[in-house]
Copies of this chain bind each other. A is one copy, B any other.
Amino acid sequence: MPETVVAAPSLIDKLEASRTAARVLAQATTVQKNRALHAIGATILRNADRILPANELDLANARENGMSEGMQDRLRLDYRRLEALEAAVVHIATLDDPIGESVRGSQLPNGLNITQVRVPFGVVGAIYEARPNVTIDIAALALKSGNAVVLRGGSAAENTNRVLVELLQGALLEEGLPSEAIQTIDEFGRDGARALMQARGYVDVLIPRGSAELITTVVTESKVPVIETGAGVVHVYLDESADLATAVEIVHNSKVQRPSVCNALETLLVHESAAARLLPPVIARLRESGVIIHGDERTRALVADVVPAVDEDWSTEYMSLDLAVRVVADLDAAMDHIHKYSTHHTESIITNDLARAERFLAEVDSAVVMVNASTRFTDGGEFGFGAEVGISTQKLHARGPMGLPELTSTKWVVRGSGQVRG
């Protein structure tokens, strides 16, 4: 008797299954989706003894392959981190369901009733690096917004993600939802990622999350719609009227609180009339935390031991304890600098001058513009979105931290009684 060989599903089989699951999920009620989210939270904690050893295996491989400490930290799960993930998933269950919301509508003169309502995208693709928490965050946000999701995580987290996706699928089945609504294509490696970028008709939107290189590859090579996330050459501008204590604390927090992330400060601009008053204490405080200053000539005239800044510094996202500092003539010069070098992520002005604050907020063209606040607040969690899919730095569809509404599309519903066009 010949052996029965069951072929593993091909990538296209998986994508077809995602589309079918998406049709079901789009019609799921808020109650069903919330129950599934609670089941996900519970299964994560209940199966810590399966998740953590798989994660240990990934970490062991990572160490062997010489992964940096910072990357290892992002890859690592422990029980406390699983508890935080469970809390995030349960929090997402408490948020308003965006699906079915009426965005706008009207009764036309001919009696037709038109309403624009929120609907799921359908199938969301995500390509990201070796951070297993992203697997849970994106799956939970996609579920709540009625989307099927196809995940391609970094291969360094493959063992962890395999267990997590199994658990996620089990939770879906428990609540009567199709397990194919959450799938990984990690087993197809880089070919899988490439195929996802070409999958027109299968993937409604593709979200890359990770390094600038990863994002650029996805944005330039994809044939499916992409939401660009990420890179942040973030500026703080200290205006003439900036309060000293506020300037010192906001610059320090923006740079030092977590230097390796996209909303961390990279370039500090200072009004020339305030440079002598503000720069020495601001820099002194930064240096307490080990920040290395790369300054222009005027900065170096005011503060000792500053590394001379070169042109490249103005466009560098250090993601480290380095900071570029430049003295500028006025608000216009600051905004011109930002216009030239910013990646349009987050910029903050520190000032007590109302007119300048309003000009900065109106004229600086970035996803998030701030007055008298740390740039570290550009974050879905801080904004109250539960978790975030990423921070969009493009202008199409979503801009800034992406929560549930950003994972939806709309459709127009037209109700008539026999109208024809004259």
Contact = CB atoms under 8 A, between A and B. Distances in A.
Q: Is the interface of A mostly helix, strand, loop or mixed?
A: mixed
Contacts of A339: 23
A250 B394 CA distance: 41
Given A363-B27, A367-B412, A400-B411, A205 B421 contact: no
B370 A416 contact: yes
A220 B223 contact: yes
A414 B376 contact: no
Contacts of A225: 394-396
Interface in A256-275: 257
A417 interface: yes
B383 A122 contact: no
Contacts of A369: 411-414
A5 interface: no
A231 interface: no
Contact of A363 (B23, B223, B227, B246): B23
A301 interface: no
Given A108-B382, A108-B384, A415 B367 contact: no
A348 B219 CA distance: 35
Interface string A81-97: 00000000000000000
A395 B205 contact: yes
Contacts of A254: 420
A121 interface: yes
A114 B383 CA distance: 8
A221 to B, nearest CB: 10
Most chain B CB inside 10 Å of its own CB: which residue of A112, A348, A366, A397: A397
Q: How many copies does the complex hold?
A: 2
A16 interface: no
B108 A383 contact: yes
Interface in A380-422: 382-384, 394-397, 399-401, 409-421
Interface residues on A, range: 35 or more
A421 B365 CA distance: 23
A15 B220 CA distance: 20
B414 A373 contact: yes
Interface string A279-291: 0000000000000
B396 A205 contact: yes
Given A112-B377, A396-B205, A411-B368, A418 B246 contact: yes
Given A376-B421, A420-B253, A122 B395 contact: yes
Nearest to A335: B23
A151 interface: no
A3 to B, nearest CB: 36
A21 to B, nearest CB: 14
Nearest to A111: B373
A249 interface: yes
Nearest to A376: B421
A119 interface: yes
Interface string A226-259: 0100000000000000010110011011100100
A204 interface: yes
A413 B361 contact: yes
Interface of A: 23, 26-27, 106, 108, 112, 114, 116, 119, 121-122, 204-205, 219-220, 223, 225, 227, 243, 245-246, 249-250, 252-254, 257, 339, 348, 361-363, 365-374, 376-378, 382-384, 394-397, 399-401, 409-421
> Shortest 4 CB-CB distances between A and B: which pairs?
A373-B416, A253-B420, A395-B409, A397-B397
28 contacts: A26-B365, A112-B373, A122-B365, A205-B395, A205-B396, A219-B223, A220-B223, A245-B418, A249-B420, A250-B418, A253-B420, A254-B420, A366-B411, A367-B411, A367-B412, A368-B411, A369-B414, A372-B419, A373-B414, A377-B416, A377-B421, A378-B414, A382-B421, A396-B397, A399-B409, A399-B412, A400-B411, A400-B412
